Structures are given as C-alpha cells and as structure tokens.
A and B are shown apart, each in its own frame.
Chain A
Amino acid sequence: MAVDTPAPQTGDRAGGDSALRDQGGALRDGAGQADIHARQIAGLDALELGTRRRTGLAVRVWAGLWPVASAVAIVLAAWQAVVLAGWWPEYVFAGPGTTLAELGRRLGEAEFYQAVAVTMRRAVVGFALAIATGLVVGALVSRIRPLRRAVGSLITGLQTMPSIAWFPLAILLFGLTESAITFVVVLGAAPSVANGLIAGVDYTPPLLLRAGHMLGLRRLSLYRHVILPASLPSFLAGLKQGWAFAWRSLMAGELLVIIANRPSLGEQLHFARELADSAGLLATMIVILVVGIGVDLLFGAADTALRRRWGLHQVTT
C-alpha cells in the first residue's frame, strides 16, 4: 500500500498493543499490516470528525434569561397600563406595585409556606399516582391487542374531559377530603401519561425492532432493551402534558374542596375573593403561575438533555 498516511492526530488510539487484543476470537495477522490500517483509518476519522466550539456559561445564561426578562417586563407594563386606564377601581383590580408588595409581605410569613407545602404535597402525591397508573395502563394497552381496541380511544376521551366535571362525583364518593382531590388529579393526568407511553411504543422505529430481534432479543427482553428506551422521548412528552393537567385539576380541586385548618394555594384564592382582597388574589395567582412554569421548565430541561444525548437536537432554531 503506497498511500501516504495522514498524521494520526488523535494520538495512539490504535497503537502498538495489537498483540493484546487477541483473546475474543479476533486474531490479528501481521501486526505491521494492521498498524498501517489502523493509522490510515485513524487519519481518515480525524478528518471526518470536526472540532466543536463551546459557548461560555455567561453567554448561555444571558441568552436564556433575556427573553424571560423582557416578557415579564411587557406583562408588567400592560398590567400597569390597564390599571392606569381606570376601568376598575384599585381595590377591585390591584396594580403590579401593590400586588408585588403584598407578595413580598406573604413571602415573609410562615403561613404562606405552609400553604405552598400542602399544595405541593398534593401535587406530588397525585402526580406520582398518575404516573404509576398511566404506566400500568399504558403498558397493558400497548401490549394487549384486544384491550387496545377497547380502551385506546377511551383514554383519549378521558383526556378531553374537563377535570372540573369530575368533582361533583368525586365529592359524592369521597366527601370533602384529600382523596377527592387526589382522585381528580390522577384522572386528569394519567391519560396523558398512558398516551405518551402508548405512542412511544407504537412509534418505536421498526428498524430498531428488527435489529433487536437479530441480536436475539425477544418478548420481555426486547421490551426492556429496545421498546421502552425507544419510547422514552414520547413518554417524557406525556409526563409534561400530564403535569399541566395535574396542576390544573389540583387548582380546581382546591377551590372546590376546602378542608378546614389546611391552608393551600387554592384556598387562599378562594378566601381572597370572598374578602375582596384583590392584591392577595393576584399575588396567589402569580405563585400558582410560577410553580406551574417552574415544573414545566424542569421537564423541558429533561427533554433537552435527552435529545442532546440521543442526537435528536440537530435542528437549532
């Protein structure tokens, strides 16, 4: 072979230890020949792989932050403008200044944190139960064909049902209790989780199924090593949507099912309206919005991380 070998830039990746590699049924003939091969290919690979540049941390933080900051500024300005227009008196529709001051005051009180803790505990318990339910139902429905036909469209139907419509039944069944709230949160979120899993299983690339089959994976092992990992992005999207439904159902529930001596965000909203405490009401709404967005951002980050790992983020916008 009279080919010029490009300098192996990536060091000694295929260097002189070729004699040591010979256990796994992969025997090498003449080490010299193999070395030339290795060096040629290493050279070609070095050509194929470009080097990537990394942007600095400060730049990335700023790039993520400024759209949020400007959006907040725009909302605050519009809000102030509506207040200044004077359609409603200040005690009915408080301005951003009063509201943020009220919010600041509440952030200094223990009662506020108790309310947030109660609400978040309900959210976490309800959402966790919804995930468990969605996983079991989704796995069964995607595996068992007759069940598929019977239950498949029912799940989608449940998804379109407004969760508040469940409350009369829930209250009838469970009374004004935590169980009534949990029941509705689970019903609200589980269909999205199940649907995400089912869609992921359905859209597992056939090529990967065939590859798994050729590797000797069957039934349960095929499910574990190919189908489940392949449906992860879709499942994650289902989780994200499920969270949105869970959070909405929870707020509806806390407005309707008020349990004595157990402060919650929904309950604060309810009493703020009764007391015509406009600033308090808006402050609570901001907290609800921020929590909802915060959790959604977590799912977004998980999704981005997954896409990056799998190389699904090719198109940057």
Chain B
Amino acid sequence: MTAPLTASHATPAAGRETAIRLDGVSKMYGQGAAGLLALDGVSLDVAPGEFVCLLGASGCGKSTLLSLVAGLDRPTAGRIDAETGRVAMMFQEPALFPWLTVSANVEMALRARKGGEGSGKPARAERRARAAEFLEIVHLGAFGAKRPHELSGGMRQRVALARALAQDADVLLMDEPFGALDAMTRDLLHDELERIWRERNLSVLFVTHNVREAVRLGDRVVLLSSRPGRVVQDFPVELERPRRTDSAEVAGQAAAITDRLRQEVLRHGR
C-alpha cells in the first residue's frame, strides 16, 4: 500500500481553515436539578482532510457530540461550525431501512443527495450501478439484493459504511463504526477507510472505545472525560502511515493514552 500522500494530509494546519469547529460547546439533557450535563465546554477543531479520533469511557458524551456536529440536535451553549460542505454520519447502530434491500439502502443516499457533479440526482439505473460500486468497496458486491436482516451484524455495519460513503460528503462522522466486527475484518476495513479518506480528502471525526484503533487511524486522538464530557488531552499521532494495529509503535502510543484514560476513570471511582 504505497499510495501517494497528498499535501493536505501532511500539513493539516495549512491556512488555518477548519472543517469542523466546536467552541465551548455544552449539552444539557433535561432541566434543573434533574438535568444531566453531557458535555461541558468542549472546544475542538478538525482541519480539512484531518482524521481525528475521539476516545472516552462509555457514557461520556461521544455520541452526543457527534449528533450535535451532525445538526441532529442543538447545543445548550457554545458554537458549532461545520459549514465546509456536506456531512455524512455513520451511527453506532447500522440504522439501515429494513424495508429496503441492501442496494436500495445505499441508493437512498444517492437519491437524496443534491447538486454535486453533473447537476441533479442520478437516474435510477445509474444509482443502482453506483450503489453496486460502493458495496464493492466494502466487499459486499454480491449482497445487494439481500435485506439487511439477512446479513450479520458486521456486514450491516459495512453496508452502513457504504451508504455513508455514497453521500459523497466532505465530512464523515463515525460512531464506533467497527465495534461489531471481528479483528481481521476490522483490520481490512481500517485499510479501506484510510484509503478512501486519502483519495477523497475527507475530514473524519471517528469515535471509538478502542485505544489501538484510535492510534491506528488518527492524526490526533482526543481524550474526553466523563460526566460532564470535557476535552482532557489531545494526543498527536505522528507515526508513519500505513500503520498496523499490532505493531509495536501503535501499541506504545496506545499504552500511553490508556494510562491517561485509566487515570480519568479512576478519578470517577472515588
């Protein structure tokens, strides 16, 4: 895997423009004493073409943060700018439409998208052909006619990935996308995702529990604290790509981050 690196990835800070900018973002669920402060003053920038991994204990507000960036929910305080372009999201669950075939699920992303190259939505036959291409990327080309429930959990996640890619967005939000996969498929999809990210110059905000996965993929790993969620630390990952999840370098950096994460969790234990 020796794809040429484009310049924008090597220097994400060039020009100081941002793909996503969170400025003092807080999110409160409920009100008053019964309310729950899920996020407290989170500030975070993602540069165009940057791959940022969000790491944190369960319930620390990672999904909340993504849905705020996606515009599915409004912050209680603070500002969010994600106006560079279209935003695609992969949810923690596959969130496929059970009444559609796998192919039609992907086609829905093509049908709904506006503008783009060639003005207007692609026609039916063309949509089908393009959906097949996206399914091929996640190695599910032969499963287009199946329904989501006929696939395994991991395969469904891959369909969700194909659907997110089909949106042709500039910003990709991913909420533990590979949680349901076995280690080997996950490795393969890491390679695929890295490749697509490079080719399309995507900005990615990637949520995970898995420290090694974060180090494997991210230009930066951002650690969140729990209740309320705050940015604890921002780890740049300067290892050369392509990386391997089971390499010593990745393990080394992961260990350092895990230590910090453990401190954070222990702080709550008391």
Contact = CB atoms under 8 A, between A and B. Distances in A.
Nearest to A310: B98
B150 A216 contact: no
A207 B133 contact: no
A168 interface: no
A42 B139 CA distance: 7
A133 interface: no
A311 to B, nearest CB: 2
The A interface, classified by DSSP as helix, strand, loop or mixed, is helix
A211 B96 CA distance: 8
A23 B134 CA distance: 11
A214 interface: yes
Contacts of B113: 215-216
Nearest to B130: A24
Contact of B139 (A30, A33, A37): A37
Contacts of A38: 139
B137 A10 contact: no
Contact of B1 (A26, A33, A44): A33
B191 interface: yes
Nearest to A313: B149
A24 B132 CA distance: 10
Interface string B26-59: 0000000000000000000000000000000000
A145 interface: no
Contacts of B241: none
Nearest to B100: A229
Given A26-B136, A42-B139, A211 B95 contact: yes
B200 interface: yes
Contacts of A214: 70, 72, 87-89, 167
B154 interface: yes
A311 B152 contact: no
Interface string B125-144: 00001100110110111100
Most buried by B among A3, A208, A211, A216: A211
A252 interface: no
Nearest to A38: B139
A123 B16 CA distance: 71
B112 interface: yes
Nearest to A10: B142
Most buried by A among B98, B148, B167: B98
A213 interface: yes
Given A13-B142, A216-B113, 11 more contacts: A3-B184, A14-B139, A24-B130, A25-B199, A27-B199, A29-B3, A41-B139, A210-B67, A210-B95, A211-B96, A312-B98
13 contacts: A14-B136, A29-B195, A37-B139, A37-B188, A41-B185, A49-B152, A208-B95, A210-B95, A211-B91, A213-B72, A221-B112, A311-B148, A311-B149
Q: Which 6 A-B pairs have the closest CB atoms?
A: A311-B149, A13-B142, A216-B112, A211-B95, A41-B139, A48-B152
Interface of A: 3, 10, 13-14, 18, 21, 23-27, 29-30, 33, 37-38, 40-42, 44-45, 48-49, 207-208, 210-211, 213-217, 221, 225-226, 229-230, 232, 309-312
Interface of B: 1, 3, 67, 70, 72, 87-89, 91, 93, 95-100, 108-109, 112-114, 129-130, 133-134, 136-137, 139-142, 147-152, 154-155, 163, 165, 167-168, 182, 184-185, 188, 191-192, 195-196, 199-200
